[in-house]
Structure 1
Amino acid sequence: MNIVILATGGTIAGVSGSAVDTTSYQSGIVPIDQMLQGVGPLEGIAAITSEQIAQVDSSDMNHDLWLLLARKVNGLLRQADVDGVVITHGTDTLEETAYFLNLVVKSEKPVVLVGAMRPATALSSDGPLNLYNAVVLAASPEARGKGVLVALNNAINSSRDVTKTNTVLQDTFKAPELGYLGYLIDNQPSFYRAPTRRHTAASGFDVADVGEFPQVDILYGHVDDNGNLARAAVRDGAKGLVYAGVGNGNMSEKMEKVLQELQTQGVVIVRSTRVSNGIVTRNGAINDDANRFVAADTLSPQKARILLMLALLETCDPLKIQKMFWEY
């Protein structure tokens, strides 16, 4: 079994001035070859090769790095002698990178993203065991065909559903409503459910020749929202807007008129929600048919942005994009 680890930095490669300092540290310092020295008995799991793709705090993750990763992963997984890929990543935007790859990787071979909530220099750092478990998962036949996975704190999550739920605790990555896919205990992954939405090998998205993505911005709904930020985003070049509305993607009459106006200018509007759980239903809080808006289903605003960004490479038709939101 041959596993390739691609390192991008993050807390898992972080360094602090004290072993008991778990929040004030510098991300992306420890190189992957040094990190692997502290992981232990990986030799019994798989043959490991590694490459340092970047060394960034994940707040600095960007589209260029996404495209680099997507092309690198797709190239590796086309090789007969590569059985899976693990990507080390900072936790702040890990869920976004994971979902992006879930939509653009063209293989059923396992791809696992992993990070840590404590820097490498901390007492009881969670990075080494998380990385070990990620390799175990990527080397597991059971992980094949389940899309891009996220493995932290002995839990297996789907990249579509997972989110960071706590700023500092180690059990932060969860799918609060739909739940874990399974667990990693004593070198053994156990799956209890599987993703049903289109992903990886079944996805229709291809970024092999993409140079840049259409600009898509997220707006956060609140009391007395006057729509100025939405207009400003479009003036700045936004081709799509994700509105993280209240409740079931709801918005004020004033905001609805602003978004109606922008939609008639060709901007695609997706209604998501600032609420942490639940479906944004079509024609629920707002008449999407009349407004030609798109309902985000269960995707968080940040993941709705990724799907809309990829959808806009193919079409600006809100009805076709809505179909993608039901499928992915």
Structure 2
Amino acid sequence: MMKLVRTLASTFVAMTLAAAVHAQVPAKPQVVLLATGGTIAGAGASAANSATYQAAKVPVDKLIAGVPELAQVAAVRGEQVFQIASESFTNEHLLTLGKRVAALARQPEVDGIVITHGTDTLEETAFFLGLTVRTDKPVVVVGSMRPSTALSADGTLNLLNAVTVASSKDSRGKGVLVVMNDEIHSGRDVSKSINIKTEAFKSAWGPLGMVVEGRTYWFRAPVKRHTLTSEFDIEAIKALPQVDIAYGYGNASDVAQRAFVAKGAKALIHAGTGNGSVAAPVVPALRELRAQGVQIIRSARVVGGGFVLRNAEQPDDQYDWVVSHDLNPQKARILAMVALANGSDSKSLQRVFMEY
């Protein structure tokens, strides 16, 4: 009898200790992976194909299953939002994705969100989400430069790093992030700079941090307005106005600008040379279009950094034009659409470009 009592007591103590140990093990972060297609979901004809392949082929469940190490970092569940190549992203895709991200961010059990995306317009989507999704939870956009079938595939590590960043409490409050090639970038600053290397994404002012062997290392934080400090809200945006980009170059004419407005553009981004310069034959057309109510925003086609100075090259005050500050043409288009959907005039539009 005493032996049975001692056995039961030992069993009880062991169970109590096991329960205590289990209680001390923190629950894994809950991360939702939203898949939209792109190269990270692509497949080539052979392992030697790193630049020739079909994008948007692998579904989200296979993406997750292909990286079993994800389970060591977080409890990951996936949703297939789209299955497209990112050059085909439309304004409607941006709104649909933004509203889904916002809805997930409101769920208390969700700790972070990862979005797999094609690299061609990844920077535009990341910036859009950073402007319109009101959350301090980590939202990470990730892609790959090579398909999963390639010998040098980069998608699996990029995805693992993205989930690592989305799972980290240190990532909160830093806006929408882009994780590529072991680097953590601000969605506002980053751009695709080359199309055949894995280190394709660069920020003019440098990355925010790095992911090395499963740990995040931070070196700076964004200072421009984003997410919770943004005046914009995805839930209030019903549609995005048409904003188009006209390129500046030698021997430029005003044909593109007039054609865009004829097709409904509410604003034009002038992707100018140098400091957003406007060729003499184009200036009269832009002034005329501004008089018709079209917003004119001077940006620069230069690569690698810098910004457009107001009233340099052109008398912006006199013409009632706006400058994009350090935003490249594609980022300027995103911000202009969001601001105009909010009812901005030229003065508030210029303020927005300086604050965001």
With the shorter chain as reference, the TM-score category is: over 0.9
CA distance in 2, matches of 1:310, 1:110: 21
Amino acid at match of 1:229: A
Aligned equivalents of 2:195 and 2:342: distance in 1? Answer: 36
| Separation in structure 2 between the aligned mates of residue 214 and residue 66 of structure 1, nearest angstrom | 13
Between Structure 1 and Structure 2, the one with more helix by share is 2
Give 3-state SS (helix, strand or coil) of 1:123's partner: coil
Deviations 1:155-182 (A, max 9, x none): 000111100011110000111x301111
Of 219, 225, 229, the residue aligned with 2:252 is 225
Which of 130, 133, 137 is the aligned partner of 1:109?
A: 137
The code of the aligned residue for 1:295 comes to V
3-state DSSP of counterpart to 1:82: coil
Counterpart check, 1:165 vs 2:185:
no
8 Å Cα contact 2:164/2:215 also seen in 1:
yes
Q: CA deviation at 1:254?
A: 2.0
- Cα distance, 1:315 vs structure 2: 2.7
Q: Which amino acid aligns with 1:91?
A: T
The answer to whether the 8 Å contact 2:133/2:234 transfers is no
Q: Verify: 1:201 aligned to 2:240, yes or no.
A: no
Q: Distance in 1 between matches of 2:162 and 2:210?
A: 11
TM-fit CA distance, 1:290 = 0.2
Q: Confirm or deny: 8 A CA contact 1:130 1:151 kept in the other structure.
A: yes
Shift of 1:44: 1.9
1:244 matched residue in structure 2: 271
Deviations along 1:87-134, one digit per CA (max 9) or x if unpaired, are: 000001100000000101110000000001111111131111100000
Separation in structure 2 between the aligned mates of residue 118 and residue 314 of structure 1, nearest angstrom: 38
* C-alpha distance after superposition, 1:18-51 (max 9, x if no partner): 1110111110101111111121222221111110
Q: 2:178 aligns with which of 150, 169, 175?
A: 150
List runs of 5+ in structure 2 lacking aligned partners: 1-28
Bigger radius of gyration: 2
Inter-partner Cα distance in structure 1 for 2:76 and 2:345: 45
In 1, distance between residues paired with 2:172 and 2:238? Answer: 30
Per the normalisation by structure 1, the TM-score is: 0.98
Report the Cα distance in structure 1 between the residues aligned to 2:41 and 2:59, rounded to whole angstroms: 7
Report the TM-score, using the length of structure 2 for normalisation. 0.90
1:312 match: secondary structure = helix
Q: Is the 8 A contact 1:315 1:321 kept in 2?
A: no
Matching residue of 1:39: 67
Structure 2 distance, partners of 1:248, 1:35, is 43
Deviation of the 1:209 alpha carbon = 4.2
**Alignment deviations for residues 241-294 of structure 1 (CA, whole Å, 9 cap, x no partner):** 000011101112221111011000000000000111201011111111000000
Matched, 1:271 2:298: yes
- Which residue number corresponds to residue 71 of structure 1? 99
Residues 1:100 and 2:124 are matched in the alignment:
no
Counterparts of residues 20-35 of structure 1 (less than 5 Å): 20-35=48-63
Give the aligned residue type for 1:51: E
Give the paired residue count: 327
For 1:209 and 1:310, the matched residues in 2 are separated by: 11
Aligned to 2:108: 80
d(CA) in 2 for partners of 1:296, 1:311 = 13
- Tell me which residue corresponds to 1:280: 308
Partner of 2:151: 123
Q: Give the match for residue 10 of structure 2.
A: none
* Cα pair 2:300 2:329 within 8 Å, conserved: yes
Partner of 2:282, secondary structure, is: helix
* 1:223 CA drift (Å): 1.4
- The yes-or-no answer on 1:293 pairing with 2:321 is yes
Counterpart CA distance in 1 for 2:237 and 2:165 is: 30
Q: Distance in 2 between matches of 1:88 and 1:46?
A: 16
Asked if the contact 1:6–1:51 (Cα under 8 Å) also holds between the matched residues in 2, the reply is yes
2:74 is the alignment partner of 1:49: no
* Match among 243, 247, 254 for residue 216 of structure 1: 243
The structural deviation recorded for 1:316 is 4.6
Aligned equivalents of 1:319, 1:256: Cα separation in 2: 20
C-alpha offsets along residues 61-101 of structure 1, whole Å, 9 cap, x if unaligned?
Answer: 11111111111111111111000100000001100000000
SS at structure 2 position matched to 1:272: strand
Distance 1:296 1:64 in 2: 24
Runs of at least 5 residues in structure 1 that lack an aligned partner in the other structure: none
Aligned residue for 2:162, secondary structure, equals helix
User: What is the SS of the residue equivalent to 1:282?
Assistant: coil
